[in-house]
Structure 1
Amino acid sequence: MKIFLAGAGGAVGRRLVPMLVAAGHEVVGTSRSEAGARRVRETGAEPVRLDALDAPALRDAVLAARPDAVLHQLTDLSAADGAANSRLRRLGTRNLVDAARAAGVTRIVAQSISWVYGGGEGPATEAEPLDLDAPAPRDAMVGAVAELERIAGELPEAVVLRNGLLYGPGTWYAPGGPVAAALRGEDGGPYLAGLTANAGVASFVHVDDAAGAVLTALEWPAGPVNIVDDEPAPAAAWLPVLASALGAPAPAPSGAPPARWERGASNARARALGWAPARPTWRTGFADQLR
């Protein structure tokens, strides 16, 4: 299959390109930087250097590639700028879907997130609504994700992968990353200012498992799928384990009540479709980052 991978230089994209190539796919991958384009080439794909916010350039690249499927792995997280990431989710997705439609592509696999569901009891399933009535500042993030998913859904074969919190190489939770800095009392950026060991539940997924899900999803029916490990857990449980793996001090337990949306997500649908995480729990997965 001919694949156009938008965001080949990102955390998931870098792990995904070798998987696609090993599976026999021909890959054209985008990156915004020259260094990223070199990495794309080194992993066996044809690089295209462009910014997904440049609609004409993206359209030309997709038309030239003539792909069978488009993979959307676009993010803008390096500066922990939520507004920039939301803009890319909205405008980058718009540009990518328009380019795919112009090239006659009907299948897209798009990266989304799993912590956008509304409040409820137990891990969220794909049948539950997004938290569109969330208060600020969460409303901006949820709104951008909803728009990403809506635009991707304009293509008839759109699979949306709602990833858990990514850990592993190239992520915020890797050794030397901003979470480790925040645990050491350094500036981890605005997203991590409230990192506390409270009762709020999160779901994780290793970046390699997330990349593997993209590869598998090329054959899945349209719709959203949670890509998370088997153990949603409160920060009071997972944060000390992560701190130990990173060689950082564990924060003191917090009595702050969790938000209703901090409930984690279920991977039952992904498992029914044939995906299973190689690292089924963060309990052992966090330590795997050091190997």
Structure 2
Amino acid sequence: MSAPSVLIAGCGDVGSRLATQLLAAGFQVYGLRRNVSRLPEGVIGVAGDLFNEDCPETWPVGAVDYLVYCAAATEHDEAGYRAAYVQGLQHVLGWLDDYGQVPDRLLFVSSSSVYGQQDGEWVDEKSETVAAGYSGRVMLEAEQVALNSGIPASIVRLTGIYGPGREWLLTQVRRGYRVAVDPPLYGNRIHADDAAGLMAFLLEADRKGVALDDVYIGVDDAPAPLAEVVAWLREYLGVTEWSEDESVRRTGSKRCSNARAKALGWVPTYPSYREGYAAILEGRC
């Protein structure tokens, strides 16, 4: 049996981590991004721009067994989001159609921003999606493009991704970051390696004939109040000073559940922020 092929459209940080895992699992991996020199070794580069409707010259001409759409917006406004997630996906689907390629499954990387809950509620894949901002509304629109594409599709709603190179919170804690304690501001996170690992797990499951649901939430086992995470990091880093700025309170507070993915057999390598941040700070990931 020939190796299954996967095209990762928007092969940036998480996409490259996914590519590395899939290569180790025996997949043939194509990575679509503007600068293909930054792709991991072994990935077949497809130099292209998701924002341009012209098909890349190096588009694969053979079968594409799986498509992972893993784009990132370059402009953080409604137009930028629509260009990255709706129009970009439409472009890729059009290129597949041009070549008569029908993947076995499409994974579309979405976001937990589609949930507007703000009072610490537990959220799962069946929870109401009433996005509070344009990012969530555009993501919901893009999800429908994926689900209506004619390709069997699964949406992966990732929560706050952290990892090497994604260390905003660590930087803020070192500066004495303050955060509101009461009422608790719940946050959800997933290590970048686990975000990639969940997608690799879903592709392997599909490859084995396992029936997949249309939506999965990508999150670790332990949503936690931001104040708790900050306190733990302060102690771990030995930070004793506080910033003179007033306490920061972001909007939104919910707890996302990974029960559906875990019921399928997925287990995160970093089950909570403790293991994940410790691995980053000790240089183990």
Tell me the TM-score normalised to structure 1 length. 0.80
2:272 to 247, 258, 281: 281
Return the letter of the residue paired with 2:73. Answer: D
Gaps of 5+ in 1: 187-193
CA-atom RMSD, angstroms?
2.9
Q: Does 1:158 align with 2:153?
A: yes
Q: Distance in 2 between matches of 1:50 and 1:287?
A: 36
* From 156, 166, 169, the counterpart of 2:164: 169
Distance in structure 2 (CA, Å) of the matches to 1:114 and 1:141: 10
Shift of 1:246: 6.2
Specify every segment of 5 or more residues in structure 2 that has no aligned partner in the other structure, as ranges.
Answer: none
Q: CA deviation at 1:184?
A: 5.3
Q: 3-state SS of the aligned residue for 2:228? A: helix
Distance in 2 separating the partners of 1:112 and 1:252: 36
Residue aligning to 1:94: 90
Residue deviations 1:60-107 (CA, integer Å, cap 9, x gap): 655525311111111135xx7344345311211221233334422351
Retained in 2: the 8 A contact 1:196–1:235? yes
| 8 Å contact from structure 1 (residues 205, 227) kept in 2 | yes
How far residue 279 of structure 1 moved from its aligned partner, in angstroms, is 0.7
Determine the C-alpha separation between the residues in 1 that align with 2:279 and 2:157. Answer: 23
Residue equivalent to 1:190: none
| Counterpart residue identity of residue 213, structure 1 | L
Instruction: Summarize the alignment of residues 1-291 of structure 1 with structure 2, pairs less than 5 Å apart.
Output: 1-8=4-11, 10-33=12-35, 37-40=36-39, 42-58=40-56, 61-62=58-59, 64-76=61-73, 81-83=76-78, 84-102=80-98, 103-119=101-117, 122-132=121-131, 134=132, 139-155=133-149, 156-171=151-166, 173=167, 178-183=168-173, 196-198=179-181, 199-218=184-203, 219=206, 221-243=212-234, 259=251, 261-290=252-281, 291=283
Instruction: Give me the whole-angstrom Cα distance separating, in 2, the residues matched to 1:215 and 1:251.
Output: 41
Aligned counterparts of 1:26 and 1:284: Cα–Cα separation in 2: 31
TM-aligned CA distance change 1:257 to 1:14, over 3 Å: closer
On the 8 A contact 1:115/1:264 being kept in 2, the answer is: no
Query: Could you tell me the TM-score, scaled by structure 2's length?
Result: 0.81
- Matching residue's letter, 2:16: R
User: Aligned pair in 2 of structure 1 residues 44, 128: CA closer, same or farther (>3 Å)?
Assistant: same
Task: Note the C-alpha offset of 1:284.
Answer: 2.4
Deviates more, 1:108-117 or 1:234-243: 234-243
Partner in structure 2 of residue 191 of structure 1: none
Offset, 1:45: 0.8
Aligned partner letter, 1:104: V
Identity %: 27
- Partners of 1:151 and 1:55 lie apart in 2 by 16
Between structure 1 and structure 2, the one with the greater Rg is 2
> Matched residue pairs, number?
265
- The Cα shift of 1:205 comes to 0.7
Amino acid corresponding to residue 64 of structure 2 in structure 1 = P
Q: CA deviation at 1:180?
A: 4.0
Q: How far apart are the structure 2 equivalents of 1:89 and 1:145? A: 7
Letter aligned with residue 287 of structure 1: A
